[in-house]
Structure 1
Amino acid sequence: MSESKKVINFSAGPAKIPEEVLLQAQNELVNYGSAGVSVMELSHRSSQFSKIINNTETCLRDLLNIPINYKVLFLQGGGSGQFSAIPLNLIGLKPDHTADYIVTGSWSSTAAKEAEKYGKVSRVLPKLDSFTVIPDQSTWNLNPDATYLYYCANETINGKIKHYLSITFGLIFAGAHKNVGCAGVTLVIVREDLLGYALPSTPSVICFRTQAEHKSIYNTPPTYSVYIAGLVLQWTKRQGGVSQMEQNSIQKSSAVYDVIDNSSGFYVSIVDKGCRSRMNIPFRIYRPEGDEFLEKTFIVESEKLGMIGLKGHRPVCLTCINLFVFVKQFHRYRKQARK
């Protein structure tokens, strides 16, 4: 790729993949190792792919220190697929089929609505006027008899995160396209004692027990996405692992929030400071509801400077990781808009 065509990609997902990983994948695209074919052409039951998926799991276990009594699954359907898979697999743990949902943003709200198809869902937070804060845990109305408690740690659309939560997790899932590779594979980490309680109507392809028994190869998995995820996880280990990624995230997000907070109200963070995300930073320009002219200009000018993916999800309009280039420019635009 020529230097003039390079861009800075801020997309939240499918997100940027490290260039080192892309170059390795490019080098192995036509002929993977000594296989004589591309990874895309490898049989999912071949010894070569078995090594790929096993190495990917091993790397993930090392990075996250996953206990031996948790299964790691590589599934399809994205996070939205898990909105159905989780209640189908877990709500049958108790006969009353109830679940608590901590609804703090768009994703957990959608997950709760999906779960209502399979059982009774209780929204445990006080009623929120908007998804800009997370009420203190002491105000949550938890049901001690609920089958499970659902919580979204990172509401990417709304730019919110709860950094620490004093509950024990039995299952974690994540769409790899956020920061562990390309779209197509969803990582699921589930405790062994939670397997085997799926509702009778659960499709085999999203049954955790079935997939665990077949080591994620009950059917053809997204082989190339698993391969890319493995490369990204290996890259992450070389960079210093999860702790270093956290420090990088803190440093970058703090720099951005400093610009927002010191812009004399020109940039507006719409999220309470106590639950600001370190990964997705939604903001508006000039006022909390935004300024159409300035925000459209922001996007146009950013693309001219080789920065893409700064336009956020429809409900929040803009998402940004780097504002510095635009500060002086947009103070000028603000003056024009006031006239």
Structure 2
Amino acid sequence: MTKRSYNFNAGPAALPLEVLKQAQEQFVDYNGIGMSIMEVSHRSKEYEQINDETQQLMSELLGLPAGYKVLFITGGASTQFTMIPMNLLTAGKTGSYIMTGAWAEKAYQEAQLVGEVSISASSREGGLLNMPAIADIKAPSNSAYVHITSNETISGTQFNDFPNTGEIPLIADMSSDILSRQIDASKFAMIYAGAQKNLGPSGVTVVIVREDLLKNEPKNLPTMLRYSTHLKNNSLYNTPPVYSVYMVNLVLKWIKANGGLAGIEAKNREKTALIYNTIDNSNGFYEGMVEKADRSLMNITFKLQSEELEKQFLKEAAASSFVGLAGHRSIGHLRASTYNAVPYESCKALAEFMQQFQSKLS
């Protein structure tokens, strides 16, 4: 095998090497059936076993109580921005959104096209470089739901805790930090996440829904845009993204084998500390972009003293096999995405490169 790059892409992102090797071994012949899993019918016993097992693994890892269902839906998290208000935002209700960054903004804008919405808390005054205080989240009493984005991939902010919304359903877009740490999943009526950051390759979106949330679903929705369609048909109403679900299955088994969410969280905190400590101990050479209390475990954003210096940093980093360190085009600067599958060794290598780069120019 040729030397692998240090992959810090924000998504599609790194996959565990062990998972890639297992998928490679099974690519042409899955479990001796003489076919790739990509070639089998989604009605076959082989795929139905993967479908059911992947749901069970997700439930186990999150510790879901009874009454929740795991769904596999296509269209990415962006389609969920529309499906949520279409299914839940009924007459006389408002959708309450917590404004924390670009992805929260997109979800809010899509809901505006469907019904009445409001912003219940915002970090706009802080330049979207912090998270609102949990105590400041006050949703209207007629809220159909409260929607939060648990981790903002672009700015690198993350909720450390989640609000208690009482009888109002809490919904979270966890696309960029799902299964990265221990959470109380029972706080949420719905969690959704595109797979391409922490769960597998792009192509499937995982939706975890409390079944009673769907009891007032409008009857005039298109079939494919109803959550009940996917729930009643065990995510098999139409042809699912078979290979993407198979890869999610392997990733979930990898997470379980690495200590579950407790083990993964410990690894994530250890490896990201290498980079954050390098930033904080650089005497201003590197500057973190987010308030320390709201720093993400998944997306580390930082900057240097000039655009020219950042260009030099990226050029030299690329020459040393670092990939994906440019910040999002909307805010620029630098970003290292340290998802579950990014190994400790990659973070250690980046921290050492940053220290060497600073030493050379100081």
2:103 pairs, out of 97, 101, 107, with 107
TM-score normalized by the length of structure 1: 0.92
2:103 corresponds to which letter in structure 1?
Answer: W
1:139 aligns with 2:133: no
2:193 corresponds to which letter in structure 1?
Answer: A
TM-superposed deviation, 1:127: 6.6
Query: 2:74: which partner in 1?
Result: 76
The 3-state SS of whatever aligns with 2:124 is: coil
Provide the rounded CA distance (Å) in 2 between the counterparts of 1:64 and 1:231. 16
TM-superposed deviation, 1:46: 0.9
Q: Is the 8 A contact 1:282 1:316 kept in 2?
A: no
Number of matched pairs = 326
Q: Is the 8 A contact 2:123 2:130 kept in 1?
A: no
Identity of aligned residues (%): 40
Provide the rounded CA distance (Å) in 1 between the counterparts of 2:317 and 2:256. 32
Provide the rounded CA distance (Å) in 1 between the counterparts of 2:353 and 2:74. 38
| Superposition map of 1:123-202 within 5 A | 123-126=119-122, 128-129=124-125, 130-167=127-164, 168-202=187-221
Q: Which moved more, 1:194-203 or 1:69-78?
A: 194-203
TM-superposed deviation, 1:294: 1.2
Provide the rounded CA distance (Å) in 2 between the counterparts of 1:233 and 1:127. 33
Provide the rounded CA distance (Å) in 2 between the counterparts of 1:201 and 1:254. 50
Q: What is the aligned-residue RMSD (CA, Å)?
A: 1.5
1:87 aligns with 2:102: no
TM-superposed deviation, 1:201: 4.9
Query: 2:17: which partner in 1?
Result: 19
The 3-state SS of whatever aligns with 1:312 is: coil
1:304 corresponds to which letter in structure 2?
Answer: A
Provide the rounded CA distance (Å) in 1 between the counterparts of 2:123 and 2:201. 36
Q: Is the 8 A contact 2:93 2:142 kept in 1?
A: no
Q: Which moved more, 1:243-252 or 1:223-232?
A: 243-252
1:63 pairs, out of 61, 64, 70, with 61
Q: Is the 8 A contact 2:54 2:245 kept in 1?
A: yes
1:308 pairs, out of 316, 320, 323, with 323
2:257 corresponds to which letter in structure 1?
Answer: R
TM-superposed deviation, 1:331: 4.8
Provide the rounded CA distance (Å) in 2 between the counterparts of 1:155 and 1:86. 19
Q: Deviations over 1:305-330 (max 9, x none)?
A: 11111123112321025333122324
Query: 2:2: which partner in 1?
Result: 2
Provide the rounded CA distance (Å) in 2 between the counterparts of 1:277 and 1:246. 12
TM-superposed deviation, 1:206: 2.7
1:269 corresponds to which letter in structure 2?
Answer: G
The 3-state SS of whatever aligns with 2:65 is: coil
Structure 1: gaps spanning 5 or more residues: none
Say if 1:127 and 1:56 are closer, same or farther in 2 by CA, change over 3 A: closer
Query: 2:223: which partner in 1?
Result: 204
The 3-state SS of whatever aligns with 2:279 is: helix
TM-superposed deviation, 1:332: 3.7
Structure 2: gaps spanning 5 or more residues: 165-186, 339-349
Q: Deviations over 1:28-85 (max 9, x none)?
A: 1111113211111111111110011111111111111112200110011111111111
Q: Which moved more, 1:163-172 or 1:234-243?
A: 163-172
Say if 1:307 and 1:170 are closer, same or farther in 2 by CA, change over 3 A: same
TM-superposed deviation, 1:136: 1.9
| Superposition map of 1:317-336 within 5 A | 317=332, 318-320=334-336, 322-333=350-361
